[in-house]
Amino acid sequence: MENIRGDLTLTPVGHVSSPLSDRAAAPKQGTEGAPDAWLVFEPAYHAALEGLRAGDRVIVLTWLHLASRDVLRTRPRDDPANPETGVFATRSPARPNPIGLHPVEILQVTGRRVRVRGLEALDGTPVLDVKPVLAGDTGP
């Protein structure tokens, strides 16, 4: 059986180009007033963009590279009024593997760049993957 406990190697396929540069000032989620942003893909992955169209809803997976990875418990939304809880019960960027999950709408596809509506990842955030939203993603 394959050893799943070893280190994994992930290769970013691109990065986020965004006006957001301040973690504290960034919206907590894309639906909370986040600006539009570009996903800029490495040339090696251009063929993987084929089929993406303006109007599509996709899930962007990012690596929230500035986040702490040694945090296991947190207060949701950094609110002292909230009780501390395990990070797997939250969307906190601080977690053992700081993968960001961003459902967004595609606004434009131009060459190696894809413009998306409302993305709260900071400028320079590595992009790991893009997947289409499926009808069943939010449950039955």
Ligand X SMILES: C[S@@+](CC[C@H](N)C(=O)[O-])C[C@H]1O[C@@H](n2cnc3c(N)ncnc32)[C@H](O)[C@@H]1O
Residues making contact with ligand X (CB under 6 A): 23, 26-29, 64-67, 91-93, 100-102, 120-122, 125
Closest approach of ligand X to the CB of residue 109, in Å: 22
Contact between 39 and 60 (Cβ < 8 Å): yes
Closest approach of ligand X to the CB of residue 47, in Å: 26
Contact between 94 and 68 (Cβ < 8 Å): yes
CB neighbour list of residue 123: distance below 8 Å, 6 or more residues apart: 16, 17, 18, 19, 20, 21
d(CA 82, CA 71): 17
Contact between 38 and 18 (Cβ < 8 Å): yes
Closest approach of ligand X to the CB of residue 112, in Å: 20
Tell me the β-bridge partners of 17.
Answer: 38
| Residue closer to ligand X, measured from CB, 1 or 134 | 134
Closest approach of ligand X to the CB of residue 1, in Å: 30
Helices within 44-119 (DSSP H only) = none
| Residue closer to ligand X, measured from CB, 114 or 122 | 122
